[in-house]
Amino acid sequence: MQRVRRRTPQDFDRVLSSMCTVPHPDAQEEAVRFLSANPGDPATYQTVAELEGEAVDLLGKIAGLDRPEGYLASGGTEANIQAVRAARNLAETDAPNIVAPESAHFSLTKAAEVLDVELRTVPVDDGYRANLDAVSAAVDADTVAVIGVAGTTEYGRVDPIPALTEIAHDAGAKMHVDASWGGFLLPFTDHEWSFADAPIDSMAIDPHKCGQAPVPAGGFLARDRETVDALAVDTPYLETTSQATLTGTRSGAGVAGALAAMEALWPAGYRASYRDQQANADYLAGEFSARGIDTVDPVLPLVAASLAPSTFEALREAGWRISRTATGELRIVCMPHVTREALASFLADLDRIRS
Ligand SMILES: Cc1ncc(COP(=O)(O)O)c(C=O)c1O
């Protein structure tokens, strides 16, 4: 029999741009055990279906929702698409639109395309948060959802969720919060972002980002059953009779890994992690400023700073995995695997390149 060649996955040492991270070891182990179970057919795969219920309950605790509805999605993209899909399906309009700040993740562009919904993006204010006047001006009778971001992809900002919710509901639209990245950090801050802070309708919150679960583990949460029911289709050939998820067959690894990570880390482990991550971001922002580099204040553990394109390229050539914002700033996400030592080593390379 031919032996399969063992490949070594890339390690995380120099990865400063990713919103994923090294999973908790117990979560990784659990994920492997459930790799082939299919929560897409819960009547057949009952054990993993039970785990999914527990995982959604825990996600609800983290997001301030007592009786959460929802499921473990493939990621924030799917959760965002599903939120728009549910809002569109529940609304009575032939020309649906959604309103989101320009800081919203590009998955909403996909959602709009796939669902044939108009995406209205509106400007952000000086603090990179949704401009409320612009949102108010953009909503109309055909708006099916307003989207706010709790932890933006480029600057880690939190939109004014309660005010956005008011605008959405006044217009008869649903309010969706994209906390895909921020959801496991924000419980330890004073920000208003959750189901407990405003009567929001749905949320994306990803265990495979700051929840330290193995990929793929996204979270789609809804306040009411109606939202999930609006997504359900009949499934004649399965033991289960209907399915609300976007994907069909799903790996049980996402469910089991997410549950294990959350059981291991909520709340003390996540709190400690948030504090370390934020301290690292504050350190990095301080070091950039001390070098005269324009830096965006890290509200959450994400640092954006102006760097000459040649310096950026030289850092990449030195092996650092870094990315840029749409306007060209260096963007560093202080995920749990990004240590103070790694940042010090990055700064040493930066100094060498700039000298
Ligand atoms: C705020 C936000 N929403 C959604 C997504 C998409 O998540 P995924 O890549 O897991 O589909 C991301 C990814 O970085 C994100 O930052």
What's the CATH code of the domain at 194? Answer: 3.40.640.10
CA of 243 to the centre of ligand 1 (A): 23
**Whole-angstrom Cα distance, residue 341 to residue 238?**
51
Spell out the alpha helix ranges (H) of the chain: 25-33, 46-62, 76-90, 107-115, 132-138, 161-170, 225-229, 252-265, 268-290, 309-317, 340-354
118: which DSSP letter? Answer: E
Domain identity same for 123 and 224: yes
- CB 75 near ligand 1, within 6 Å: yes
**Whole-angstrom Cα distance, residue 63 to residue 58?**
9
Q: Is 271 left (phi over 0), alpha (psi -120 to 50) or beta?
A: alpha
Sheet holding 97-101, edge to edge: 69-73, 218-222, 202-204, 174-178, 143-149, 97-101, 118-122
* Domain annotation covers residue 341: yes
| Cβ neighbourhood burial of 307 (10 Å; 0-12, 13-18, 19+) | buried
- CB 174 near ligand 1, within 6 Å: no
Write the CB contacts of 308 (distance below 8 Å, at least 6 apart in sequence). Answer: none
Domain identity same for 312 and 259: no
Which of the listed residues 241, 265, 289 is the one where a domain comes to its end? 265
In this prediction, residue 239 carries a pLDDT of 85
Query: Is 163 within 8 Å of 191 (Cβ atoms)?
Result: no
Residues in the chain: 355
- CB 131 near ligand 1, within 6 Å: no
Closest ligand 1 atom to 104 CA: 1
- What b/e sequence results for 314-343 when a residue is b if at least 16 CB atoms lie within 10 Å of its CB, and e otherwise? bbeeeebebbebeeebbbbbbbbbbeeebb
Strands 295-296 and 302-305: antiparallel
Domain identity same for 342 and 244: no
Domain identity same for 337 and 204: no
In this prediction, residue 285 carries a pLDDT of 98
* Domain annotation covers residue 35: yes
Domain identity same for 86 and 169: yes
- What b/e sequence results for 232-263 when a residue is b if at least 16 CB atoms lie within 10 Å of its CB, and e otherwise? eeeeeebeeeebbbbeeebbbbbbbbbbbbbb
Query: Is 250 within 8 Å of 39 (Cβ atoms)?
Result: yes
For a mutational test of ligand 1's pocket, the pick from 180, 203, 209, 299, i.e. the residue with the most ligand atoms closer than 8 A to its C-beta, is 180
Supply 303's token pair: 């640092």
CA of 95 to the centre of ligand 1 (A): 26
Write the CB contacts of 119 (distance below 8 Å, at least 6 apart in sequence). Answer: 97, 98, 100, 108, 109, 111, 112
In this prediction, residue 240 carries a pLDDT of 84
Determine the structural domain holding residue 117 and report its residue range: 25-265
* Domain annotation covers residue 8: no
Please state the domain count of the chain.
2
- CB 254 near ligand 1, within 6 Å: no
- CB 77 near ligand 1, within 6 Å: yes
Closest ligand 1 atom to 153 CA: 16
- CB 329 near ligand 1, within 6 Å: no
Domain identity same for 257 and 272: no
Residue closest via CA to ligand 1's atom 5 equals: 76
**Which three-class secondary structure state does DSSP give residue 148?**
strand
Domain identity same for 256 and 294: no
**Whole-angstrom Cα distance, residue 180 to residue 178?**
5
Query: Is 101 within 8 Å of 326 (Cβ atoms)?
Result: no
CA of 76 to the centre of ligand 1 (A): 5
In this prediction, residue 237 carries a pLDDT of 85
Handedness of CA 92, 118, 164, 156 (dihedral sign): positive
Which of the listed residues 265, 280, 295 is the one where a domain comes to its end? 265
Q: How many CA atoms lie within 13 A of 14 on its CB side?
A: 13
Domain identity same for 153 and 207: yes
Residue closest via CA to ligand 1's atom 7 equals: 76
- CB 30 near ligand 1, within 6 Å: no
In this prediction, residue 241 carries a pLDDT of 87
Domain identity same for 99 and 198: yes
Domain identity same for 178 and 327: no
For a mutational test of ligand 1's pocket, the pick from 193, 206, 220, i.e. the residue with the most ligand atoms closer than 8 A to its C-beta, is 206
- CB 206 near ligand 1, within 6 Å: yes
Whichever domain contains 345, its CATH number is 3.90.1150.10
Tens of pLDDT along the chain (355 residues)?
788 899 998 999 999 999 999 999 999 999 999 999 999 999 999 999 999 999 999 999 999 999 999 999 999 999 999 999 999 999 999 999 999 999 999 999 999 999 999 999 999 999 999 999 999 999 999 999 999 999 999 999 999 999 999 999 999 999 999 999 999 999 999 999 999 999 999 999 999 999 999 999 999 999 999 999 999 999 988 888 899 999 999 999 999 999 999 999 999 999 999 999 999 999 999 999 999 999 999 999 999 999 999 999 999 999 999 999 999 999 999 999 999 999 999 999 999 999 9
- CB 154 near ligand 1, within 6 Å: no
Which residues, in sequence order, are bridge partners of residue 233? 243
